[in-house]
Amino acid sequence: QVQLVESGGGLVQAGGSLRLSCAASRNIFSINAMGWYRQAPGKQRELVAAITSGGTRNYADSVKGRFTMSRDNAKNTIDLQMNSLKPEDTAVYYCNALWGSDSYWGQGTQVTVSS
């Protein structure tokens, strides 16, 4: 199993920045892929950014150029640096890990962007 703990959410004004962090309970090299998802009220959960064990990154079109995902192998963490935040980025952000054939989720962290 993989336990995931997110941190770093909060309230920020439009144009501001936040950094989210996700700590995994096992060596992230052993995890096939990790990602950040978000879910806004009344909407489906959507992929924001993902990174494979080989280091390939993918971003949703809506966040390209504003969000950057990074990985710290020594700390078994992945971070999401979010710049130029917009009100439409408001959502609960979830960390996800694909390990073998199983998918694991963190508890989520709220990001609220005020206009």
pLDDT along the chain (115 residues), means of 10: 94 98 91 95 96 93 97 93 98 95 96 97
Closest CA to 62 of 91, 33, 34: 91
Closest CA to 24 of 93, 101, 77: 77
Per-residue model confidence (pLDDT) at position 29 = 83
Q: Do the beta carbons of residue 47 and residue 35 sit within 8 Å?
A: yes
Give backbone dihedrals phi and psi of 64, rounded to 5 degrees, phi first.
Answer: -60, 135
Per-residue model confidence (pLDDT) at position 13 = 98
